[in-house]
Amino acid sequence: MPQPTPRRPPQAPPAEGHITAEDVLLFANAATTSTGQREFHSDDGAQTLSLDFLHAYMLGNYRELYAATLALDINDHNAALIVRHLLETAAEATAEQRAAEGRLIARRLTRMPPQRVYALFTALRRAKVNNRRTRAIMRDWLAARPDPAFDAVKYRSGLKRALRHAHLPAATQELGPFLFSAHGGRRFATPLLETWRRAHYEQAAVYELPFTVAEGFAARHGIDRGAFLERIAPRMTRLERLRLQESAAALGAGSVRTDLKRMPLTRLASYVLGLSLDERAARRPELTAALRAAANRGAGPQARSWGRVTAVLDDSFSAYGSGQKRRRPLAVALAAHHLLGALAEEGGYTALWTSGRTDALLAFPYGATPLGERVLDALETSPDLLLIVSDGWDNAPPGLAAEVLRVWRERLDPEGRVTVVHLNPVYDAEVFDVRRLSPAVPTAGIRDAEDLPSLVGLARFATGRTGLPELRAHLDARTAAFLASPEDTR
C-alpha cells in the first residue's frame, strides 16, 4: 500500500519552492518534538511509523536539506536517525554531499550524550553499515573522547562493539585486555581500571567508580541503598542528583542534593512538576528563585528586549502527556512562562493559563482547552508578541481559536502589528506534523523552552509568505554557526 503524503491546509497550488519549504519545516517540527514515544493522543507505534515515513521522504527527496537539519534544534533521537540514514545511503551521495554531511555528522556527535552515540554505533553495526566514511567518523569521535578509561568502564559494551565494528585498536595498551580478555586477577596500571577490578571484591572501591557503574556493584555486594547513596553522592552528575535527591532523602541520604539554580530550565520545570503541590508551596522561594535564575541564563543578551509579551499557556488535561513523556507539555509551558518573563520588557509580560489559574508554580494538568477565550483575552492586552504554547487541541468550543486568529489577522490587524506565534510541544502522528491552530499563524515544534528564541525566528517561514531561498539562507547561516561553534564533547 502506498504511503500517504503529509497533509496541508487547502490552498491554491503553491510553487515548487514553497512545497519544498513546507516539507522542510514539517520535518523540522517532527524532528524537534517526536521521540517515537507515546503521546496523549497517539501511541508509540503510530509515532514511530509516522516519523519513519518522514525520514524516508526527506532523505529521498531533499538529501542536502535533510542533512542540514542536524544544525537545527532537533532532538537527539532524530539526530541519531538522520546520521544513521545518511551513513546507510552513503553510496547515493555525491562526493560534495558526503564531505558536507561528514562535517555536520562529526559536529552533531560531539553534542550528543555519549550513550546516545554508542547506541547509534550499535545500530550501525546491526544494520551492517561499515563503509569507509562510517569507520572514519567512529574513529574520529572515539579519538576525541577525553577519558578512554572512563568510557571503557561506564560504556564498556558500547565501546567494545564500536572498536570491533570499525576495526580500531584500543586507545591505550591496557584497554584491549580490559575490554576483550578474561583478565581474571590481572592488575591494571590505569587507576580507574584497577578500581573497577578491585570493586568486584572490595566495597570501598565501589565508591570510586562512576555512579551508574557503582550502582551495579552495590547491588552485588548487598550494600544498603541509603548508605550507598550517601557515600556515592560526590560521584554523581547534576542530573543524577536531581533525579535521585527525593528518593535519597526518603532513605536518609541527605547529601544527595543539587544546586537547582544551575539546572537547565526545562529539566528544572519537569522536576518541579514532579513534586506534590504541598511540597511546591512549601519550597516556593527556593523553586521560584531557581526557575528565574535558569530563565535569566536562557535569555542571555536578549533579556528585556522583546517588548510587551503575552503568553497563552496550555495546562489542560492533555498537558499531562503520557506515561513515557510524563507532564512534558506542561513542563515546556512552565519553562516558557519563566523564559518569556525574562525576555519581555520590565513589567511587560502577561501570562494566561487555559485553566484560568494564576499561580504558575502550582500548575497541574486539568480540564478542557479553551484556547479561543484565552487568545481573545491575550489580544486585549495589546502585546507586541503573542505566544501560544499548546498541543493545539482547541476543544472548548472546538475551532474558536482558529476563528479568532483568522478574524484578527484579516480584519483587525492585517498589517501584522502584533506578532502571533504558536509553539507546539507535541507531534501529531496522524497529520505528520505538530497540530496547527490557524493557517494565518506560524506554528513551530518545540521540545525545550531554551530553544524558544530561535524557534520564534524559524516560525516566520511557516506562514508561506517566505519561500525556499529565504529558508535556504536561514539554514546556511545556522549550519555555518553550528560548524563554527566550539566542540561539546560530553
Q: pLDDT tens digits for 274-317? A: 999 999 999 999 999 999 999 999 999 999 999 999 999 999 99
CB 447 within 8 A of CB 75: yes
Quick one: cell of 14?
503553491
The conformation of residue 326, written as its DSSP 8-state character, comes to B
How far is Cα 173 from Cα 151, in angstroms, rounded to an integer? 15
Helix, strand or coil, per DSSP, at residue 341: helix
pTM exceeding the 0.85 threshold for the entire prediction: yes
Compute φ and ψ for 35, nearest 5 degrees.
Answer: -120, 15
So what's the pLDDT on residue 183? 64
Residue 7: pLDDT band with limits 50, 70, 90: very low
How many other C-beta atoms can be found within 10 angstroms of the C-beta atom of residue 56?
Answer: 12
How many other C-beta atoms can be found within 10 angstroms of the C-beta atom of residue 351?
Answer: 19
CATH 3.40.50.410 segments of the chain: 266-484
Position 253 pLDDT exceeds 90:
no
How far is Cα 460 from Cα 397, in angstroms, rounded to an integer? 28
CB 221 within 8 A of CB 236: no
Residue 259: pLDDT band with limits 50, 70, 90: confident
CB 288 within 8 A of CB 365: no
In the CATH scheme, what architecture does the domain 266-484 have? 3-Layer(aba) Sandwich (3.40)
Per-residue model confidence as pLDDT tens digits over 227-252: 999 999 989 998 889 888 888 888 88
